[in-house]
Amino acid sequence: MEMKSKVQFRLRIHRDDDIAVGPGKIALLEAIAETGSISAAGRRLGMSYRRAWMLVDEMNRALSSPAVSTAAGGAHGGGTQLTDTGRKMIKHYRAIESTARLAAAADIAALTRLLAP
C-alpha cells in the first residue's frame, strides 16, 4: 500500500505572544470574503461564532488598521466585509506560500524520498 505525503507550509507571524497572521486566520478571512458573515464563515470552517469572532478581534487588534469591518444588525441585518488590509493580508500570505513552495520544491522532494513507504 503506497502512502502519499502531504506537504504544508504553516507560516505564522507573531505579535508579542499572539499569532497575528497564520493559516487559520487567513482561511477565516477568505471565508468571510465569500460569505459576508463572521458566523457563516465560522460554520464553514467548523468553528463557533465565538471562536471566529475572537480570531477576528485578535487579528484586528494586532494590525495597524482592521482586516474586517462589521455593521451591526437591525431591520436590514448586519454585514461583515474585508477591508483593504484584509484583502492585502490574503494576497501577501498566499504569495509567500507559493514562493516558498516553489523555492523549496527540490528539498521537499528529497525529504519525501527519505520517508518510509
pLDDT by residue (tens digit) across 36-46? 999 999 999 99
- So what's the pLDDT on residue 5? 60
Q: What is the C-alpha end-to-end distance of the chain, expressed in Å?
A: 8
Percent of the chain with pLDDT over 70: 88
In this predicted structure, the answer to whether residue 24 has a pLDDT above a threshold of 60 is yes
**Residue 29 forms part of a structural domain:** yes
The sign of the CA dihedral 24, 28, 30, 34 is positive
- Phi, psi of 14, deg, nearest 5: -95, 150
Per-residue pLDDT averaged across 89-114, rounded?
92
Q: Report the distance separating Cα 84 and Cα 76, nearest Å.
A: 24
Number of domains in the chain: 1
Give the amino acid at 97.
E
Find the CATH number of the domain harbouring 35: 1.10.10.10
Q: What's this model's pTM, rounded to 2 decimal places?
A: 0.82
The number of residues in the chain equals 117
Per-residue pLDDT averaged across 56-81, rounded?
83
Write out the residue range of the structural domain in which residue 38 sits. 13-67+78-113
